[in-house]
């Protein structure tokens, strides 16, 4: 076991982790943050996307111990004072989700994109979502929702 | 899918990493983890110890090194894509790095990790090979330089010894007389290349130098030597020879025969794109 210090959504956590524990399971099973989902388990689908120091990563492909001392943001950390993040609000108003399974990952990928490129073109938005799969095929509305905030 | 248990140590420096690697049989280096962790999750590998070099910040840089650009082995793909020096002097490298995986992968994966993984379907190994680049590795005996042509030995096998750590990657500066192309054919944007083709051509009018690198056409990244020679000899259809000497795999992305056809098409297109003038 290894002692790890994680800042998750602004809260500091001191945890004893097995080195093989993947960050997504640390978030879901140790911290009860079930927003990041496990879709493919092969680093493909992006439904486990969270921010590590502000940048999107697939939390199924990061060890909890690698995140030691770093800042994690999950979908649960986006809303402030009960008000949804503008991207969350835009996903809602543009009907950018059907089953919702990929949605936390899509929103976090979009947050990461806009942090780096606040005015992306439609093509740039589509390119930025290449690591996130939606099997309801809701891409059109997802792209529209992000465009509306950009 | 959870990896089998392993021990974990954080290396504070390259020397520390070399020492840690020497302390255990079956120890593996962990950098960004985006080649290694998928393999561990599938339990294709079960190392006893992971030595995490991901916190050695001194190995993340892009520097001017005279006629070459030097890239620290732990430079993430995301940072390679954005490196102004590379954009100016060797834009092929950031272009290819920008086609690796997806943004999440590029935020974590490193150039040294990609090269040391030795995946014949990886983008950067064929790019380094076509550029005649080189890498520095540090081991118990000190530093040595390995040319790209000597680096890739087999599928997922490189010339690095079990106790060696890649520290730097160097690529030549291209000039105004150079043209280049990287074409990556894949079914989904995030996928590995079914076939990838790198072309670097030098010449104002007639062709003086030509290098063609191939992804996913054999056990290692390859050079299309017959095509290169035909180009230099001024033959009419060098791309028709692109699959000479290759041994492409058959898998879910395509049969060997399909890849042989595809590589000829892609080399033709890449040479049109790369040809100066």
CA distance A113 to chain B (A): 9
Supply the ipTM of this predicted assembly. Answer: 0.96
- Structure tokens given for B249: 């795999």
Compute the average pLDDT of residues A30-59: 96
Specify whether the CB–CB gap between B205 and B277 falls below 8 A: yes
Cα gap A120→A113, rounded to integer Å: 8
Q: Would you call A62 and B38 a contact, using CB atoms and an 8 Å cutoff?
A: no
Summarize pLDDT for A48-66 with one digit per residue, the tens.
999 999 999 999 999 999 9
- What domains appear along chain A, each with residue ranges and CATH number? 2-77 (3.10.20.30), 86-149 (1.10.150.120)
What pLDDT is recorded for position B276?
Answer: 63
What pLDDT is recorded for position A137?
Answer: 84
Specify whether the CB–CB gap between A87 and A104 falls below 8 A: no
For the domain covering B7-52, report its CATH number: 3.30.43.10
Summarize pLDDT for B159-191 with one digit per residue, the tens.
999 999 999 999 999 998 999 999 999 998 889
From the list A19, A41, A131, the residue facing B104 with the nearest CB is A131
Q: Give the predicted TM-score (pTM) of the model.
A: 0.96
| Buried b / exposed e along B21-57 (16+ C-beta atoms within 10 A) | beeeeebbbbbbbbbbbbbbbeeeeebebbbbbbebe
- Which segments of chain B does DSSP mark as H helices, in order? 14-22, 36-41, 77-81, 84-89, 92-97, 103-108, 111-117, 123-130, 148-151, 225-232, 256-274
CA distance B22 to chain A (A): 20
From the list A21, A43, A55, the residue facing B107 with the nearest CB is A55
Contacts of B34 in chain A (CB under 8 A): 43, 61
From the list B3, B8, B104, the residue facing A2 with the nearest CB is B8
Check pLDDT > 80 for residue B211: yes
Average pLDDT, chain B: 96
What pLDDT is recorded for position B42?
Answer: 92
By percentage, how much of chain B surpasses pLDDT 70? 99
Cα gap B11→B53, rounded to integer Å: 5
CA distance A71 to chain B (A): 15
* B180-274 matches B7-52 in CATH topology: no
Q: Would you call B189 and A2 a contact, using CB atoms and an 8 Å cutoff?
A: no
Question: Hey, of B2, B4, B103, which one would you mutate to test binding to chain A, going by the most A CBs within 10 A of its CB?
Answer: B103
Q: Which residues contact B243 (CB under 8 A, 6 or more apart)?
A: B217, B224, B259, B260, B263, B264
Check pLDDT > 60 for residue B277: no
The domain segmentation of chain B, as residue ranges, is 7-52, 57-172, 180-274
DSSP A45-81: S-TTEEEETTEEEEGGGSBGGGGTT-EEE-GGGT-BT
Summarize pLDDT for B103-159 with one digit per residue, the tens.
999 999 999 999 999 999 999 999 999 999 999 999 999 999 999 999 999 999 999
Q: Which residues contact A29 (CB under 8 A, 6 or more apart)?
A: none
Which residue in B69, B53, B54 sits closest to B107, CA to CA? B54
At the top level of CATH, the class of B180-274 is alpha beta
| Domain made up of B57-172: CATH architecture | 2-Layer Sandwich (3.30)
Contacts of A46 in chain B (CB under 8 A): 102, 104
Surface-to-core class of residue B236, CB atoms within 10 Å of its CB (0-12 exposed, 13-18 middle, 19+ buried): exposed
What pLDDT is recorded for position B47?
Answer: 96
Strands B7-10 and B49-52: parallel
Q: Which residues contact B13 (CB under 8 A, 6 or more apart)?
A: B56, B58
Summarize pLDDT for B62-79 with one digit per residue, the tens.
999 999 999 999 999 999
């Amino acid at each position: 076991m290894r002692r790890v210090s994680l800042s998750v959504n602004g809260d500091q956590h001191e945890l004893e982790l097995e080195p093989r524990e993947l960050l997504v399971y640390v978030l879901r099973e140790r911290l009860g943050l079930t927003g990041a989902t496990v879709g493919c388990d092969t680093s493909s689908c992006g439904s486990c996307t969270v921010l590590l120091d502000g940048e999107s990563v697939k939390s199924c492909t990061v060890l909890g111990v690698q995140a030691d001392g770093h800042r994690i943001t999950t979908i649960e950390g986006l809303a402030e004072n009960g008000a949804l993040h503008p991207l969350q609000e835009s996903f809602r108003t543009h009907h950018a989700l059907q089953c919702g399974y990929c949605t936390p990952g899509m929103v976090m990928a979009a947050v990461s994109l806009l942090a780096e490129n606040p005015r992306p073109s439609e093509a740039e938005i589509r390119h930025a979502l290449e690591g996130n799969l939606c099997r309801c095929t809701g891409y059109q509305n997802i792209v529209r929702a992000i465009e509306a905030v950009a | 899918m959870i990896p089998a248990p392993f021990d974990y140590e954080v290396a504070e420096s390259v020397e520390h990493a070399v020492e840690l690697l020497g302390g255990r049989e079956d120890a593996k280096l962990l950098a960004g983890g985006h080649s290694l962790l998928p393999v561990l999750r599938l339990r294709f590998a079960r190392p006893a110890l992971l030595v995490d070099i991901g916190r050695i910040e001194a190995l993340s840089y892009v520097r001017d090194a005279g006629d070459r650009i030097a890239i620290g082995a732990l430079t993430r793909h995301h940072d390679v894509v954005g490196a102004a020096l590379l954009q100016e002097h060797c834009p092929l490298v950031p272009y290819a790095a920008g086609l690796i995986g997806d943004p999440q992968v590029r935020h974590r994966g490193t150039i040294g990790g990609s090269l040391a993984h030795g995946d014949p379907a990886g983008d950067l190994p064929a790019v380094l090979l076509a550029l005649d680049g080189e890498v520095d590795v540090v081991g118990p005996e000190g530093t040595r330089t390995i040319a790209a042509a000597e680096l890739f030995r087999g599928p997922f096998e490189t010339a690095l010894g079990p106790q060696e750590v890649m520290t730097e990657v160097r690529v030549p500066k291209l000039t105004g007389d150079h043209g280049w192309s990287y074409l990556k054919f894949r079914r989904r944007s995030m996928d590995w290349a079914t076939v990838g083709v790198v072309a670097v051509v030098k010449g104002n009018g007639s062709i003086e130098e030509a290098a063609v690198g191939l992804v996913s056409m054999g056990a290692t990244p390859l050079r299309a030597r017959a095509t290169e020679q035909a180009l230099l000899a001024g033959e009419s259809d060098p791309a028709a020879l692109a699959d000479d000497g290759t041994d492409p795999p058959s898998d879910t992305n395509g049969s060997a025969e399909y890849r042989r056809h595809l590589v000829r098409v892609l080399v033709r297109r890449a040479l049109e794109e790369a040809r100066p003038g």
